[in-house]
A and B are shown apart, each in its own frame.
Chain A
Amino acid sequence: MDVLSVSGLTKHYDGYTAVDHISFSIKRGEIVGLLGPNGAGKTTTIQMLLGLTLPDDGEILYFGKNFLENREQSLSRMNFASSYSAVQGRMTVYQNLRIYAGLYGVKETEKVIRQLLELMDIVSIKDQVFWKLSSGQKTRVILAKAFINNPELLLMDEPTASLDPEIAEKVIEILLELRRSQGVSILYTSHDMEEVEALCDRVIFLDHGKILAEDTPLGFTKRIGDCTLIVTFDGEQKTVVSHVKSKKYAYKFPRDEVIEVSLPENDIPALLFDLGKKKIWITNIDVKKPRLEDVFLQIAKGQYEHREN
């Protein structure tokens, strides 16, 4: 059974469609990335998934049941974290966690809070009021809050945005461990493509409110196909150009003795061998494989659809 199933979800605001009939699902233990440039519809989608905004059309099912008809039951089994959200600033970290434990009906509250304070390394700030914390400390408190009801589904909107790399890495490890040990499912948005590649089983790209593409991170990078070969050489530039042109590869010269060639990964050995035969002395080679970031940039620039066509 899908933990989350969304079908035909649509939201119109004055004169424009923020989310346009999107459908997707998340299985138990699956981590799905929801990506897209600013204005793609990610925030509106998450707001509808949390019940803060009502959809104009479409259906959201959590654990097989209609969300709007089973709001309380659905929300008790899930949680949300964002580096942009907050808890009551006037209250201490402990008091806030105590309140959220109560709202989720958590049993053994003290034990759970103590474990979360230790897990997120915030024991020392538990008696400090929330608004006085640094942004990194606040994010860790928000993450502790997100784990407080032992959720089966986590919605996370850039949860590591204000964290130090070391802590961000630890958070990713915690999420992967939660998935491994408890089968937690996660819907994850981030602008950190490396993080998404490391964490997500599947990625959904949104643009202008529509799902533009859906695939595994590897599948996406394969769609781009070409990688970039950077060759530093000693020899006649004309010879190199004529050979690369004959193969119809795109190329450019960042410096006179360096050529960057865009080509399929499998063609690299043959090209290097051919250049060697033409008495081009190769002094350095670097290969840049396509990354999710490249797909994201293409989408942001509006080139992705064109390329797929």
Chain B
Amino acid sequence: MNIGRINTVLLHSWYHFTHSMETWVDLFWNSTVQIVLFSFLATAVSHGGDTSSARYMVVGMIFWNMIWVNQYAMALGILWETWSRSFSSLFITPLSMNEFLLAQMISGCIKSFVALSMSMIIASAIHGISLLPLGIWFFVYCFELMLLGWAFGFLVLSLILRFGTDVQSLSWAIVFAIQPVGGIFFPSQYLPESVRWISTLLPTSYLFESLHGQLAGKSADLSMIGMATALNILYILASYLLFQHQYKMSRITGRFARMES
């Protein structure tokens, strides 16, 4: 790993960001509109007396940024180069794939904290929600969700290396599959019994349960956080290994060199 090259890819991300209206819209416009919607929705639900459900929804949407933005940044980092036909130009320099991905992960981390901060401010202004009771655990939850975003990022990149840009729409879509069953916007216990088992496989179910417990005045649930960490480690390792396998296979089959053609 060469720090100079990682910094250069970060500079590349910044240069690109300043010229890409699409990225601004995807990351900040969508996040803003969604948190405004969810805050209004929560306010409406609160009028019915259910403040707990209202809070669950808004907090879910604030933290959703950590998963979505990190996954999006990783996948789009490669897709932008593919669309620009500059993908191979980057990888015939001494830059390694791991350096490139690490830079994309750092870039995603920065973008996700910007999006999350923005959502927090809006939610606080509209719905009066505060995440201060989480204390230092706020960063633990963020990091855990970031790990899940990266795991999805590796998964999407593996699919792109295997099937090419035909599956590029998954870069936006795939992570949304966990929204209904991940215990993000409502507790997993309210899921239909037939799909509830899926939530037990998702780190978000455990993380949000602990997180909402803390917001309700309890202390952090270490067993829940431990379970989420174990699942995250499992998923990020599995997805990284899958990515490495597909990366190698794409160089053997010639798909890697043909990705931008």
Contacts and interface: CB of A to CB of B under 8 A. Distances in A.
A13 B92 contact: no
A90 interface: yes
B12 interface: yes
Contact of A105 (B4, B15, B254): B4
A75 B92 contact: yes
Contacts of A210: none
A85 interface: yes
Nearest to B256: A52
Interface residues of A, number: 37
Given A52-B251, A91-B16, A102 B86 contact: no
Contacts of A71: 94, 96
A98 interface: yes
B93 A104 contact: yes
Contacts of A11: 254
A51 interface: yes
B94 A72 contact: yes
A51 B7 contact: no
B12 A88 contact: yes
B254 A53 contact: yes
A75 B94 contact: yes
A264 interface: no
Contacts of B19: 90-91, 129
Contacts of A72: 2, 94, 96
A53 B256 contact: yes
Given A53-B251, A53-B256, A90-B20, A145 B89 contact: yes
A79 B254 CA distance: 20
Contacts of A75: 92-94
Nearest to B261: A84
Contacts of A73: 94
Contacts of B93: 75-76, 100, 103-104
A98 B12 CA distance: 9
A86 B86 contact: yes
Interface in B80-135: 80-81, 83-86, 88-96
Contacts of B83: 89
B interface, how many residues as a size bin? 20 to 34
A90 B2 CA distance: 25
A80 interface: yes
B254 A44 contact: yes
Interface in A59-73: 71-73
A85 B91 CA distance: 12
A131 B11 contact: no
A276 B94 CA distance: 68
Interface in B217-261: 248, 251-254, 256-257
B94 to A, nearest CB: 4
A90 B84 contact: yes
B11 A98 contact: yes
Interface in A262-276: none
Residue from B19, B84, B90, B94 whose CB has the most chain A CB atoms within 10 Å: B94
Given A52-B251, A80-B92, A102-B7, A88 B256 contact: no
B8 A103 contact: yes
A89 B88 CA distance: 14
Given A80-B89, A91-B16, A98-B15, 9 more contacts: A44-B254, A53-B251, A54-B252, A72-B96, A76-B93, A76-B94, A88-B84, A90-B16, A105-B94
Interface of A: 11, 13, 44, 47, 50-54, 56, 71-73, 75-76, 79-80, 85-92, 95, 98-100, 102-105, 129-131, 145
18 contacts: A47-B257, A51-B92, A51-B251, A52-B88, A53-B257, A76-B94, A87-B89, A88-B16, A89-B84, A89-B85, A91-B19, A98-B11, A99-B8, A100-B89, A103-B93, A105-B2, A105-B4, A105-B94
Interface of B: 2, 4-5, 7-9, 11-12, 15-16, 19-20, 80-81, 83-86, 88-96, 248, 251-254, 256-257
Counting from the closest, the 4 A-B pairs by CB-CB distance are: A102-B8, A52-B257, A103-B93, A86-B85
